[in-house]
A and B are shown apart, each in its own frame.
Chain A
Amino acid sequence: MAKITLEELRKLRQKKQDDLQKRDIAGKDCQIIVGMGTCGIAAGAKVVLDAFLKELDAEKIENVAVTQTGCMGLCYVEPTVEVVVPGMPDTIYGRVDADVARKIVKDHIVGKKLITDHIYDRPSVDIMKNGGK
């Protein structure tokens, strides 16, 4: 007997897509996504991840989910971090270190301001947007 049926997989996909649309990941509306490929880690992504967790903890900010992703392709400005905050454009920061991480929490997450000199562009359009059709 199969563990998951076709119907169940389709339901699961719909639910996860809705979650993504609502920007509600486990009850949190902001996201910090750290690029954790080998390139990012070699450039210090682990230190950055720690800095985010510590700073969010210290500032008692609870609506932010910190997650990881693979390489975005911007190897020359690793570590890279994507910040998603409701009402603000999704932003990709490059050359992030612990100091910049703290600044992102204070200025971007709390202060709702972009941080100059660290913003980069996502390299291409997303072909999977709108359900990949």
Chain B
Amino acid sequence: MAFRNYILVCGGTACESSRSKEIYENLKAEAKKQGVEDVVQVVQTGCFGFCEQGPIVKILPEDSFYVKVQPSDAAELIAEHIIKGREVKRLLYDKDKASKHAQVEDIKFYQKQFRIVLRNCGFIDPENINEYIARDGYAALERALFDMTPDDIIAELKTAGLRGRGGAGFPTWMKWNFSKNVESEIKYVVCNADEGDPGAYMDRSTLEGDPHSILEAMTICGKCIGAHKGFIYIRAEYPLAIHRLEVAMKQSRELGLLGHDILGSGFDFDIEIRLGAGAFVCGEETALLQSVMGRRGMPVPRPPFPAVKGLWDQPTVINNVETWANIPVIIHKGGEWFSKIGDADSHGTKVFALTGKICNSGLVEVPMGTTLREIVFDIGGGIAHGKKFKAVQTGGPSGGVITTENLDTPIDFGSLIKIGSMMGSGGMIVMDEDDCMVDVAKFYLNFTVDESCGKCMPCRIGGKTMLGILEKITAGNGTMHDLDQLTEIGETMKKSALCALGQTSPNPVLSTMRFFRDEYLAHIVDKKCPAGKCKKLVTYSIDPAKCKGCTACARRCPVEAISGTIKQPHKIDTSKCIKCGECLKTCKFGAVSVH
């Protein structure tokens, strides 16, 4: 027999520290005492991601969301809610209060996420077209084919205010409109699925979880601009996403939703997959198009823009996976609906891949205008292991850091640029007090130097020179003049590099220099790395007063740099030490320290 009610008590770390365990025990005891233990089951759950309002108790099937519950509330919850079936209003989170970012009626404020792009991810079997259709899949295509003119489609996108989710935020309707207005018998539609930012996997998950939404969106675009051929450019290192796309394409062709005379409308459209070899620069649209045509993936100067002259010199609309995934919803629910989500600057939602030193890493989709604080501390559950928050890197190697002082900046295209970062494709890497910002800048620059195609001088030589300077600084040989040079080269690259990769690659350096100048100065003036990351700047030593002579560290040291006899304080020979940090991890007495 199933229970009538289920009480879920949040057992996340944050809630547990605010006595959720006691609430759980009390609820169980009260259920027994009041004779309803056969009617209700009390269970502990994982984090609900609403930690600031914890401890949280949720009662099913009513879906009552109780916040700031105290152990002493257990008796009342059982007596009122379970026995009398009345919600305990005093503890309820006010459900009528709509989120300030999304004026959509059914959004519950405690669920900070709002999923448009990921609407089907985790709901449908991606390899079964029927499940997509059952959730209104291809209903937008119906509208686009039978009820709308190309101009209607453009108007709908314009009302929606959708901007490109690949990073730059160019208005999608304008792009489509450019291509639509060019007279040409042959036009193309391209999906940019070349996701390359370190730590970003939003596009992969979308393709793996909901491949049909991309096919539907591209077909709608084809109808709008008058194209009959589409390409999906995806990296070969995403085998599952490719497989699911292939299955999806086969199923829609079999049903007649792709191919010749779609739904009897007389409109033909088909899609081909092109595999990329994983070069970062091929995510840049002009380089990507070169690669689709079988040429070497190198950017070409714009204008002409691809929307006017793209693949084989024909008008080509190229959008990112996330942009495409928004299209069917906009056409189906209307641009008006979409435009109400988000803030004044940017409409809709943004998907982020939340990684790094965060408790609840994962894919999150939030309305535009949500603050970084809400993402990191509410959805992400805060910093792991009780460490202190330092910064978040958005926009991958093209973006910059956002620090504590900007935690309350709304996340939209305009605000992020104002604080020296950018939206980027959606990678969000959280850093804590143990991360050295000079080292982080070096990591990203190393990546872009590696991935530079070498075609234009500012990127090829500028990046390499900047990296050399950063290496010099992290080795303890930096001078104040180096900082000026970094700024000068960086600013020059921004102005003169050929494509976005080169123009944005100095961003991590410039942004960390702006917000963490003190860390650069510590490396240059004091020859110290405050976070203890830059190996050449740290020394390990053993405090003789704390060392018990247990020999654990000496046995662990891979280069035999630690000497000493048993029960006597040990010593580290700094000339032999390779700074691997093993002794620090091994010591049980806290005698090893890093300077």
The reply to whether B111 and A5 contact each other, CB–CB distance below 8 Å, is no
**Given A132-B139, A132-B332, 19 new contacts (CB under 8 A):** A2-B260, A2-B262, A6-B265, A12-B130, A13-B139, A16-B130, A37-B208, A37-B209, A38-B204, A67-B125, A70-B209, A71-B121, A73-B363, A75-B361, A114-B41, A117-B43, A121-B46, A125-B115, A127-B104
Please encode chain B, from 193 to 210, with 1 for each CB lying within 8 Å of some chain A CB and 0 for all others: 000000001001100111
Residues of B near A13 (CB, < 8 A) are 133-134, 136-139
A35 within 8 A of B: yes
Residues of A near B121 (CB, < 8 A) are 37, 69-73
The reply to whether A35 and B255 contact each other, CB–CB distance below 8 Å, is no
Min distance, Cβ B43 to any Cβ of chain A, angstroms: 4
Q: State in angstroms the CA–CA spacing of A72 and B363 once bound together.
A: 8
The reply to whether A16 and B133 contact each other, CB–CB distance below 8 Å, is yes
Most buried by B among A19, A94, A126: A126
Please encode chain B, from 3 to 18, with 1 for each CB lying within 8 Å of some chain A CB and 0 for all others: 1001010010000000
Min distance, Cβ A82 to any Cβ of chain B, angstroms: 8
Q: State in angstroms the CA–CA spacing of A77 and B46 once bound together.
A: 9
Please encode chain A, from 28 to 45, with 1 for each CB lying within 8 Å of some chain B CB and 0 for all others: 000001010111010000
A58 within 8 A of B: no
A61 within 8 A of B: no
Nearest first, the 9 closest Cβ-Cβ pairs linking A and B are: A70-B209, A3-B256, A72-B122, A16-B134, A2-B264, A124-B113, A119-B45, A73-B363, A75-B362
Interface on A for B, CB 8 Å cutoff?
1-6, 9-10, 12-13, 16-17, 19-20, 33, 35, 37-39, 41, 67-77, 80, 82, 85, 87-89, 94-95, 112-129, 131-133
B531 within 8 A of A: no
Q: Could you count the A-B residue pairs with CB atoms below 8 Å apart for me: how many are there?
A: 198
Residues of A near B379 (CB, < 8 A) are 123
Interface on B for A, CB 8 Å cutoff?
1-3, 6, 8, 11, 41, 43-49, 58, 60-61, 104, 106-108, 111, 113-116, 118-128, 130-131, 133-139, 142, 146, 201, 204-205, 208-210, 238, 240-241, 254-257, 260-265, 329, 332-333, 359-365, 379
Residues of B near A129 (CB, < 8 A) are 106
Given A87-B2, A126-B123, A71:B45 Cβ within 8 A: no
Given A13-B136, A35-B122, A128-B123, A119:B364 Cβ within 8 A: no
